[in-house]
A = this chain, B = another copy of it.
Protein backbone atom coordinates (compact mmCIF):
# COMPACT_ATOMS: atom_id res chain seq x y z
CA UNK A 1 0.00 0.00 0.00
CA UNK A 2 1.28 3.44 -0.92
CA UNK A 3 -1.16 5.52 1.15
CA UNK A 4 -0.36 7.18 4.49
CA UNK A 5 0.29 4.81 7.39
CA UNK A 6 -2.68 3.44 9.26
CA UNK A 7 -3.18 5.63 12.29
CA UNK A 8 -5.20 3.17 14.29
CA UNK A 9 -8.66 3.27 12.73
CA UNK A 10 -8.98 -0.41 13.62
CA UNK A 11 -7.75 0.21 17.18
CA UNK A 12 -10.27 3.04 17.51
CA UNK A 13 -13.09 0.72 16.45
CA UNK A 14 -11.83 -1.87 18.94
CA UNK A 15 -12.25 0.63 21.78
CA UNK A 16 -8.63 1.69 22.37
CA UNK A 17 -8.97 5.06 24.13
CA UNK A 18 -5.36 6.12 23.58
CA UNK A 19 -5.62 5.40 19.85
CA UNK A 20 -8.88 7.39 19.84
CA UNK A 21 -7.32 10.41 21.57
CA UNK A 22 -4.35 10.29 19.17
CA UNK A 23 -6.57 10.09 16.09
CA UNK A 24 -8.75 12.98 17.31
CA UNK A 25 -5.64 15.16 17.56
CA UNK A 26 -4.70 14.26 13.97
CA UNK A 27 -8.29 15.00 12.89
CA UNK A 28 -8.25 18.38 14.62
CA UNK A 29 -5.02 19.21 12.79
CA UNK A 30 -6.44 17.92 9.47
CA UNK A 31 -3.39 15.78 8.65
CA UNK A 32 -3.28 13.45 5.59
CA UNK A 33 -3.18 10.47 7.98
CA UNK A 34 -6.46 11.71 9.48
CA UNK A 35 -8.01 11.87 5.99
CA UNK A 36 -7.22 8.20 5.41
CA UNK A 37 -8.58 7.20 8.83
CA UNK A 38 -11.76 9.25 8.30
CA UNK A 39 -12.31 7.54 4.93
CA UNK A 40 -11.81 4.15 6.59
CA UNK A 41 -14.13 4.90 9.52
CA UNK A 42 -16.91 6.68 7.64
CA UNK A 43 -18.89 3.53 6.67
CA UNK A 44 -19.14 2.69 10.39
CA UNK A 45 -20.77 5.98 11.37
CA UNK A 46 -24.48 6.59 11.82
CA UNK A 47 -25.03 4.49 14.94
CA UNK A 48 -24.73 7.24 17.56
CA UNK A 49 -27.47 9.56 18.76
CA UNK A 50 -26.09 13.08 18.28
CA UNK A 51 -27.34 15.67 20.76
CA UNK A 52 -26.29 19.31 20.48
CA UNK A 53 -26.51 21.56 23.52
CA UNK A 54 -25.95 25.27 23.17
CA UNK A 55 -26.72 28.45 25.06
CA UNK A 56 -25.07 31.56 26.45
CA UNK A 57 -22.43 31.48 29.20
CA UNK A 58 -24.11 31.38 32.59
CA UNK A 59 -27.04 29.25 31.50
CA UNK A 60 -25.63 26.21 33.31
CA UNK A 61 -25.32 24.31 30.06
CA UNK A 62 -22.29 22.33 31.24
CA UNK A 63 -24.10 21.09 34.37
CA UNK A 64 -26.95 20.01 32.15
CA UNK A 65 -24.56 18.12 29.84
CA UNK A 66 -23.06 16.51 32.95
CA UNK A 67 -26.50 15.37 34.19
CA UNK A 68 -27.60 14.14 30.78
CA UNK A 69 -24.38 12.13 30.45
CA UNK A 70 -24.97 10.48 33.83
CA UNK A 71 -28.57 9.70 32.90
CA UNK A 72 -27.55 8.24 29.53
CA UNK A 73 -24.96 6.04 31.27
CA UNK A 74 -27.45 4.89 33.94
CA UNK A 75 -30.42 4.44 31.57
CA UNK A 76 -34.05 5.22 32.41
CA UNK A 77 -37.18 3.06 32.46
CA UNK A 78 -37.69 4.23 28.86
CA UNK A 79 -34.18 3.55 27.48
CA UNK A 80 -31.19 1.26 28.10
CA UNK A 81 -27.81 2.61 29.27
CA UNK A 82 -25.38 3.65 26.53
CA UNK A 83 -21.77 4.80 26.33
CA UNK A 84 -21.34 8.57 26.03
CA UNK A 85 -18.88 10.93 24.38
CA UNK A 86 -18.88 14.65 25.15
CA UNK A 87 -17.42 17.13 22.65
CA UNK A 88 -17.12 20.60 24.21
CA UNK A 89 -16.52 23.27 21.58
CA UNK A 90 -15.55 26.85 22.32
CA UNK A 91 -15.84 28.84 19.10
CA UNK A 92 -14.80 32.11 20.75
CA UNK A 93 -11.27 33.42 20.98
CA UNK A 94 -8.48 31.40 22.59
CA UNK A 95 -8.54 34.12 25.25
CA UNK A 96 -11.84 32.79 26.62
CA UNK A 97 -10.64 29.18 26.67
CA UNK A 98 -10.49 29.34 30.45
CA UNK A 99 -14.25 29.33 30.86
CA UNK A 100 -14.87 25.99 29.22
CA UNK A 101 -11.89 24.39 30.93
CA UNK A 102 -13.34 25.55 34.25
CA UNK A 103 -16.60 23.86 33.37
CA UNK A 104 -14.74 20.65 32.68
CA UNK A 105 -13.77 20.45 36.34
CA UNK A 106 -17.42 19.81 37.15
CA UNK A 107 -17.22 16.70 35.02
CA UNK A 108 -14.81 14.97 37.37
CA UNK A 109 -17.51 12.55 38.49
CA UNK A 110 -17.74 11.31 34.90
CA UNK A 111 -14.01 11.04 34.26
CA UNK A 112 -13.56 7.73 36.09
CA UNK A 113 -16.20 6.01 33.94
CA UNK A 114 -14.63 4.05 31.06
CA UNK A 115 -17.94 4.38 29.17
CA UNK A 116 -17.48 8.17 28.99
CA UNK A 117 -15.05 10.02 26.72
CA UNK A 118 -14.62 13.81 27.00
CA UNK A 119 -12.95 15.99 24.38
CA UNK A 120 -12.58 19.79 24.40
CA UNK A 121 -12.03 21.75 21.20
CA UNK A 122 -11.10 25.41 20.90
CA UNK A 123 -11.09 27.76 17.97
CA UNK A 124 -7.86 28.01 15.97
CA UNK A 125 -8.46 30.76 13.51
CA UNK A 126 -11.04 29.73 10.94
CA UNK A 127 -14.55 29.23 12.28
CA UNK A 128 -15.65 27.25 9.24
CA UNK A 129 -12.67 25.04 10.02
CA UNK A 130 -13.92 24.51 13.56
CA UNK A 131 -17.38 23.40 12.39
CA UNK A 132 -15.78 20.90 10.01
CA UNK A 133 -13.28 19.65 12.60
CA UNK A 134 -16.20 19.15 15.01
CA UNK A 135 -18.10 17.13 12.40
CA UNK A 136 -15.02 14.95 11.84
CA UNK A 137 -14.38 14.47 15.57
CA UNK A 138 -18.03 13.45 16.02
CA UNK A 139 -17.67 10.97 13.12
CA UNK A 140 -14.65 9.31 14.72
CA UNK A 141 -16.48 9.00 18.06
CA UNK A 142 -19.53 7.65 16.22
CA UNK A 143 -17.43 4.99 14.45
CA UNK A 144 -15.73 4.23 17.79
CA UNK A 145 -19.14 3.02 18.95
CA UNK A 146 -20.31 5.62 21.48
CA UNK A 147 -24.09 5.33 21.81
CA UNK A 148 -24.71 9.00 22.43
CA UNK A 149 -22.55 12.00 21.60
CA UNK A 150 -23.22 15.29 23.38
CA UNK A 151 -21.93 18.28 21.42
CA UNK A 152 -21.72 21.28 23.73
CA UNK A 153 -21.07 24.77 22.38
CA UNK A 154 -20.69 28.00 24.31
CA UNK A 155 -22.42 31.06 22.97
CA UNK A 156 -25.44 32.13 21.02
CA UNK A 157 -24.28 33.17 17.57
CA UNK A 158 -24.43 31.81 14.05
CA UNK A 159 -21.22 29.84 14.60
CA UNK A 160 -22.76 27.90 17.44
CA UNK A 161 -25.80 27.21 15.30
CA UNK A 162 -23.54 25.90 12.52
CA UNK A 163 -21.72 23.62 14.94
CA UNK A 164 -25.00 22.46 16.47
CA UNK A 165 -26.09 21.45 12.96
CA UNK A 166 -23.89 18.34 13.31
CA UNK A 167 -26.42 17.06 15.89
CA UNK A 168 -29.72 15.28 15.32
CA UNK A 169 -31.42 17.17 18.14
CA UNK A 170 -30.40 20.65 19.22
CA UNK A 171 -31.18 21.70 22.78
CA UNK A 172 -31.00 25.44 23.45
CA UNK A 173 -30.49 26.34 27.11
CA UNK A 174 -31.53 29.64 28.63
CA UNK A 175 -31.54 30.80 32.24
CA UNK A 176 -33.18 33.61 34.19
CA UNK A 177 -31.11 36.65 35.08
CA UNK A 178 -28.94 36.84 31.98
CA UNK A 179 -30.47 40.23 31.19
CA UNK A 180 -33.39 41.22 29.01
CA UNK A 181 -31.09 42.69 26.41
CA UNK A 182 -29.44 39.38 25.87
CA UNK A 183 -32.75 37.89 24.79
CA UNK A 184 -32.41 39.78 21.54
CA UNK A 185 -29.25 37.86 20.63
CA UNK A 186 -31.01 34.62 21.14
CA UNK A 187 -33.81 35.07 18.64
CA UNK A 188 -31.57 33.47 16.04
CA UNK A 189 -31.06 30.51 18.32
CA UNK A 190 -34.81 29.91 18.66
CA UNK A 191 -34.94 28.86 15.03
CA UNK A 192 -32.21 26.30 15.65
CA UNK A 193 -33.87 24.82 18.76
CA UNK A 194 -35.57 21.44 18.67
CA UNK A 195 -35.97 21.51 22.44
CA UNK A 196 -35.89 24.65 24.59
CA UNK A 197 -34.78 24.56 28.24
CA UNK A 198 -34.94 27.17 30.97
CA UNK A 199 -32.30 25.97 33.40
CA UNK A 200 -31.88 27.31 36.97
CA UNK A 201 -35.69 27.21 37.10
CA UNK A 202 -35.62 27.77 40.89
CA UNK A 203 -34.01 31.17 40.53
CA UNK A 204 -35.80 34.54 40.51
CA UNK A 205 -37.05 35.48 37.07
CA UNK A 206 -37.50 31.88 35.88
CA UNK A 207 -41.25 32.35 35.41
CA UNK A 208 -40.82 35.48 33.35
CA UNK A 209 -38.08 33.82 31.27
CA UNK A 210 -40.41 30.89 30.57
CA UNK A 211 -43.22 33.31 29.74
CA UNK A 212 -41.02 35.35 27.39
CA UNK A 213 -39.77 32.26 25.55
CA UNK A 214 -43.30 30.90 25.30
CA UNK A 215 -44.37 34.21 23.75
CA UNK A 216 -41.45 34.05 21.30
CA UNK A 217 -42.41 30.52 20.32
CA UNK A 218 -46.04 31.51 19.84
CA UNK A 219 -44.94 34.50 17.79
CA UNK A 220 -42.86 32.23 15.55
CA UNK A 221 -45.78 29.86 15.14
CA UNK A 222 -47.66 31.56 12.26
CA UNK A 223 -44.39 31.96 10.37
CA UNK A 224 -43.65 28.25 10.63
CA UNK A 225 -47.17 27.51 9.51
CA UNK A 226 -46.77 29.75 6.50
CA UNK A 227 -43.48 28.07 5.60
CA UNK A 228 -45.05 24.66 5.82
CA UNK A 229 -48.00 25.81 3.68
CA UNK A 230 -45.63 27.20 1.07
CA UNK A 231 -43.90 23.83 0.83
CA UNK A 232 -40.91 24.91 2.97
CA UNK A 233 -38.56 22.07 3.81
CA UNK A 234 -38.77 22.47 7.56
CA UNK A 235 -41.78 21.17 9.38
CA UNK A 236 -40.65 22.29 12.78
CA UNK A 237 -43.57 24.27 14.09
CA UNK A 238 -42.20 26.28 16.95
CA UNK A 239 -44.83 26.39 19.62
CA UNK A 240 -45.35 24.86 23.04
CA UNK A 241 -45.56 21.09 22.96
CA UNK A 242 -48.56 19.25 24.28
CA UNK A 243 -46.39 16.24 25.21
CA UNK A 244 -47.55 13.75 22.58
CA UNK A 245 -47.32 10.05 23.45
CA UNK A 246 -46.09 8.64 20.13
CA UNK A 247 -43.68 10.01 17.54
CA UNK A 248 -45.46 13.10 16.17
CA UNK A 249 -45.85 14.03 12.49
CA UNK A 250 -45.15 17.67 13.21
CA UNK A 251 -42.62 18.74 15.79
CA UNK A 252 -43.81 21.17 18.44
CA UNK A 253 -40.71 22.57 20.18
CA UNK A 254 -41.12 21.73 23.87
CA UNK A 255 -40.19 24.30 26.50
CA UNK A 256 -38.89 22.59 29.65
CA UNK A 257 -37.76 23.92 33.04
CA UNK A 258 -34.74 22.21 34.63
CA UNK A 259 -32.55 22.60 37.71
CA UNK A 260 -29.48 20.78 36.41
CA UNK A 261 -27.35 20.95 39.56
CA UNK A 262 -30.14 19.14 41.45
CA UNK A 263 -30.81 16.76 38.55
CA UNK A 264 -34.38 18.07 38.28
CA UNK A 265 -36.12 17.96 34.92
CA UNK A 266 -33.27 16.18 33.17
CA UNK A 267 -35.20 12.92 32.77
CA UNK A 268 -38.06 14.82 31.13
CA UNK A 269 -35.47 16.55 28.93
CA UNK A 270 -33.97 13.23 27.82
CA UNK A 271 -37.48 11.93 27.09
CA UNK A 272 -38.13 15.01 24.91
CA UNK A 273 -34.81 14.45 23.09
CA UNK A 274 -35.75 10.82 22.45
CA UNK A 275 -39.22 11.86 21.24
CA UNK A 276 -37.55 14.26 18.82
CA UNK A 277 -35.26 11.51 17.59
CA UNK A 278 -38.31 9.29 16.97
CA UNK A 279 -40.02 12.14 15.12
CA UNK A 280 -36.92 12.62 12.92
CA UNK A 281 -36.94 8.95 11.98
CA UNK A 282 -40.65 8.48 11.29
CA UNK A 283 -41.04 11.77 9.40
CA UNK A 284 -38.04 11.21 7.14
CA UNK A 285 -36.59 14.47 8.48
CA UNK A 286 -33.47 12.66 9.76
CA UNK A 287 -32.32 11.72 6.25
CA UNK A 288 -33.30 15.16 4.94
CA UNK A 289 -31.30 16.98 7.61
CA UNK A 290 -28.27 14.77 7.18
CA UNK A 291 -28.33 15.35 3.45
CA UNK A 292 -28.58 19.12 3.94
CA UNK A 293 -25.69 19.06 6.35
CA UNK A 294 -23.51 16.89 4.10
CA UNK A 295 -24.25 19.13 1.10
CA UNK A 296 -23.10 22.11 3.15
CA UNK A 297 -19.96 20.29 4.24
CA UNK A 298 -19.13 19.01 0.76
CA UNK A 299 -19.38 22.55 -0.58
CA UNK A 300 -17.14 23.98 2.15
CA UNK A 301 -14.51 21.29 1.53
CA UNK A 302 -14.67 21.84 -2.23
CA UNK A 303 -13.98 25.54 -1.70
CA UNK A 304 -10.91 24.67 0.37
CA UNK A 305 -9.53 22.10 -2.07
CA UNK A 306 -10.09 24.29 -5.14
CA UNK A 307 -8.30 27.22 -3.53
CA UNK A 308 -5.42 24.97 -2.47
CA UNK A 309 -5.19 23.59 -6.04
CA UNK A 310 -5.19 27.11 -7.47
CA UNK A 311 -2.39 28.22 -5.15
CA UNK A 312 -0.44 25.05 -6.04
CA UNK A 313 -0.86 25.78 -9.73
CA UNK A 314 -0.32 29.54 -9.93
CA UNK A 315 2.09 29.81 -7.04
CA UNK A 316 1.83 32.13 -4.06
CA UNK A 317 3.56 34.82 -6.17
CA UNK A 318 0.62 35.24 -8.55
CA UNK A 319 -1.72 35.80 -5.63
CA UNK A 320 0.66 38.28 -4.04
CA UNK A 321 0.90 40.18 -7.35
CA UNK A 322 -2.90 40.35 -7.59
CA UNK A 323 -3.06 41.59 -4.00
CA UNK A 324 -0.48 44.28 -4.80
CA UNK A 325 -2.65 45.57 -7.64
CA UNK A 326 -5.75 45.60 -5.42
CA UNK A 327 -3.91 47.33 -2.56
CA UNK A 328 -2.66 49.95 -5.06
CA UNK A 329 -6.32 50.46 -6.14
CA UNK A 330 -5.43 49.49 -9.73
CA UNK A 331 -8.00 46.70 -9.65
CA UNK A 332 -10.96 46.00 -7.37
CA UNK A 333 -11.08 42.74 -5.36
CA UNK A 334 -13.97 41.26 -7.38
CA UNK A 335 -12.28 41.78 -10.75
CA UNK A 336 -8.95 40.48 -9.41
CA UNK A 337 -10.53 37.32 -8.01
CA UNK A 338 -12.47 36.66 -11.23
CA UNK A 339 -9.27 37.08 -13.27
CA UNK A 340 -7.34 34.63 -11.07
CA UNK A 341 -10.16 32.08 -11.19
CA UNK A 342 -10.42 32.43 -15.00
CA UNK A 343 -6.68 31.83 -15.34
CA UNK A 344 -7.29 28.33 -14.05
CA UNK A 345 -10.82 27.85 -15.32
CA UNK A 346 -11.36 29.87 -18.50
CA UNK A 347 -15.07 30.60 -19.06
CA UNK A 348 -16.43 27.84 -21.34
Q: A interface vs B, CB < 8 Å? A: 35, 38-39, 41-43, 45-46, 56-58, 91-93, 95-96, 99, 123, 127, 139, 154-155, 157-159, 177-182, 184-185, 187-188, 190-191, 220, 287, 290-291, 294-295, 297-299, 301-307, 309-310, 312-313, 319, 322-323, 326-327, 329-338, 340-341, 344-345, 347-348
Given known A45-B329, A157-B157, contact A187–B93 (CB-CB < 8 A)? yes
Residues of chain B within 8 A of A323, CB atoms compared: 291, 294-295, 298
A selection of 18 A-B contacts at a CB cut-off of 8 Å is: A42-B329, A43-B330, A58-B181, A93-B158, A93-B188, A96-B188, A127-B158, A154-B184, A178-B179, A294-B326, A303-B303, A304-B337, A305-B337, A305-B338, A306-B310, A309-B347, A312-B348, A313-B345
Q: Known: A92-B188, A188-B92. Contact between A298 and B337, CB under 8 A?
A: yes
Taking CB atoms, residues of chain B closer than 8 Å to A58 are 179-182, 184
B39 touches A334 (CB 8 A): yes
Pairwise interchain contact B56-A327, C-beta atoms closer than 8 A: no
* Contact pick for A158, options B92, B290, B297, B302, CB 8 Å: B92
- Whether A341 lies near B306 (C-beta < 8 A) is yes
* Closest residue of B by beta carbon distance from A34: B334
